[in-house]
Amino acid sequence: MRRPVVAGNWKMHGSRADNTRLVDALVEASDALPCDVVICPPAVYLWEVGRQVKDSRIALGAQSLCAEAQGAFTGEVSSGMLRDVGASYVIVGHSERRALYGETDALVARKFVAAQSSGLTPILCVGETLEEWEQGATEQVVARQLDAVLELAGVAAFARAIVAYEPVWAIGTGKNATPDQAQAVHAFIRARIAARDAIIGDGLRLLYGGSVKAANAAELFGQPDVDGGLVGGASLKADEFVRICVAADGGRA
Ligand code: PGA
């Protein structure tokens, strides 16, 4: 049985004061949640938020990392540093990193490997743009993004990873994929991993991301291959995020 996961991607939002309020409310609710919960604040806040969640079941994740271990890479943060300040997960290949910061499939694959080299669990994001969706190229795009990582890291690495399917046209737009659409792509991803290793494919936790909110979470998470969510905007509101986490048992509990 795959344990559901809900991860909150705060993106470039927050302040020390706002974070304290949000995280206090989440910690208070966290014991009763039916899933693994990960919150991903901006890197500068990781240490402090990590202190706040220390005695709770909430885990800490980063939003990105450098593919290199250390050295002359001004402005970058390495996987070892993220580990050092208490992160145990890191988002890799988010569509905003791919689109706005030129992260290629090859670089994303190197970041995935770098994350695991320090013991971080990568949350690998894949997903098609609106144009690709309209062209019916979803499977082709997702396969290409997955294969780049499979080729560099090998299928065994997916035993220690999470994959998030995030159709770019659904991110921050209020337009989510329907549960059937999400399920179809998730099944495709699982089959692609399972073709190389059936046990790893079966155990791989697949998250849906893109305008997840309390109102649509239960239906999305109720799909057989949707094991939780990667939540952006709705992860900034404690009540809403907790309600999404509650929906993550998807009728499995
Ligand atoms: P959203 O973002 O929930 O605000 O659509 C999801 C994400 O980018 O991870």
- 13 is known as an active-site residue: no
pLDDT band at residue 250 under the 50/70/90 scheme? low
Residue with the two structure tokens 């974070």: 19
| Domains of the chain and any CATH numbers | 5-247 (3.20.20.70)
What pLDDT does 135 receive?
A: 95
79 lines ligand 1 (CB under 6 A): no
**Whole-number Å distance between alpha carbons of 49 and 12:** 15
Go through the chain and tell me how many residues it has: 253
Ligand 1 nearest atom to the CA of residue 172, by list position = 5
pLDDT band at residue 175 under the 50/70/90 scheme? confident
Structure confidence by residue, pLDDT tens digits, 53-98: 999 999 999 999 999 999 999 999 999 999 999 999 999 999 999 9
What pLDDT does 48 receive?
A: 98
Amino acid at 194: A
Ligand 1 nearest atom to the CA of residue 11, by list position = 8
**Whole-number Å distance between alpha carbons of 186 and 174:** 20
Using the mean position of ligand 1's atoms as its centre, give its distance from the Cα of residue 72 in Å: 32
pLDDT at 252 over 90: no
Ligand 1 nearest atom to the CA of residue 209, by list position = 6
Structure confidence by residue, pLDDT tens digits, 117-153: 999 999 999 999 999 999 999 999 999 999 999 999 9
210 lines ligand 1 (CB under 6 A): yes
Using the mean position of ligand 1's atoms as its centre, give its distance from the Cα of residue 231 in Å: 5
Q: Taken in order 91, 94, 97, 103, is the CA torsion positive or negative?
A: positive
- Give burial (CB, 10 Å; 0-12/13-18/19+) of 71: exposed
Q: What is the pTM of this model?
A: 0.97
Q: Which of 5, 9, 168 to mutate to test the pocket of ligand 1 (most atoms within 8 A of CB)?
A: 9
pLDDT at 253 over 50: no
pLDDT at 235 over 50: yes
**Mean pLDDT of the region 18-38:** 96
**Whole-number Å distance between alpha carbons of 164 and 150:** 15
